[in-house]
């Protein structure tokens, strides 16, 4: 089964396909932009995006929105993670946490799927902490500073570990299970 995935980030498509291949689902990148609403909940961002793209192309489509929520920063950067990363990067986040003992953080991914029946949301979450310095060259975005619970390395140091447990994997697994089950 082939599903369109509206995103400009090919890393996300690769990660989705790592999951999809176990379910016989193939994601094809669609370079279709959509307005991201300002909402602190990634699920509502994904929901609005999926609806927007479906209404435009009239074909079933998924979009995905991810946020990194850091406890000591009141959930910053949250659903604004992409903008914040572009402006201040991992060094900015490390600087904000310099004197903080509480390094707790979570990644939340929301996959929104829309077709003529409406929109559905599938969420994945991974708990972890922010490293003292950026480490590793794999992945993208905040991967070099995020250490998932129970691990000693960042997502960017161990991409296989990331692919096995990530927020995005968990969200896409829920979606794939649902989409193949309803055929």
34 C-beta neighbours (distance < 10 Å), count: 19
Q: Is 147 helix (H, G, I), strand (E, B) or coil?
A: strand
Q: Which of 76, 135, 153, 163 binds a copy of itself (CB under 8 A)?
A: 76
Residue closer to a copy of itself by CB (options 99, 160) is 99
Closest CA to 120 of 58, 41, 181, 179: 179
Instruction: Kindly state whether residue 38 participates in binding a copy of itself, applying the rule CB under 8 A.
Output: yes
- Count of residues in contact with a copy of itself, rule CB under 8 A: 21
Task: Give CA–CA dist 69/107, Å, rounded.
Answer: 6
Instruction: Kindly state whether residue 56 participates in binding a copy of itself, applying the rule CB under 8 A.
Output: no
Out of 65, 115, 143, 158, the active site residue is 65
Task: Give CA–CA dist 40/146, Å, rounded.
Answer: 20
Q: Which of 2, 22, 35, 116 binds a copy of itself (CB under 8 A)?
A: 35
Show contacts of 85-90: CB within 8 Å, 24+ apart.
Answer: 85/141, 85/142, 90/134, 90/142, 90/144, 90/145
117 carries an active-site annotation: no
In the complex, the smallest distance separating the C-beta of residue 87 from a copy of itself, rounded to whole angstroms, is 4
Instruction: Kindly state whether residue 84 participates in binding a copy of itself, applying the rule CB under 8 A.
Output: yes
Instruction: Kindly state whether residue 73 participates in binding a copy of itself, applying the rule CB under 8 A.
Output: yes
Summarize as ranges the residues that interact with a copy of itself (CB under 8 A): 35-38, 40, 73-78, 80, 83-84, 86-88, 92, 95-96, 98
């Amino acid at each position: 089964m082939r599903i369109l995935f509206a995103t400009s980030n090919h890393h996300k498509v690769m990660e989705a396909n790592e999951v999809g291949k176990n379910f016989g689902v193939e994601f094809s990148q669609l370079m279709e932009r959509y307005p991201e609403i300002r909402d602190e909940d990634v699920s509502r961002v994904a929901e609005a995006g999926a609806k927007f793209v479906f209404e435009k192309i009239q074909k079933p489509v998924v979009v995905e929105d991810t946020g990194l929520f850091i406890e000591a920063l009141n959930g910053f950067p949250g659903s604004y993670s992409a903008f914040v990363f572009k402006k201040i990067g991992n060094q900015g986040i490390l600087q904000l946490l310099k004197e903080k003992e509480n390094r707790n953080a979570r990644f939340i991914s929301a996959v929104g799927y829309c077709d003529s029946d409406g929109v559905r949301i599938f969420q994945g979450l991974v708990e972890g902490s922010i490293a003292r310095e950026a480490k590793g060259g794999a992945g993208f975005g905040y991967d070099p500073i995020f250490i998932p619970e129970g691990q000693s390395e960042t997502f960017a140091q161990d991409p296989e570990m990331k692919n096995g447990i990530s927020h995005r994997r968990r969200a896409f697994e829920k979606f794939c299970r649902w989409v193949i089950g309803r055929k």
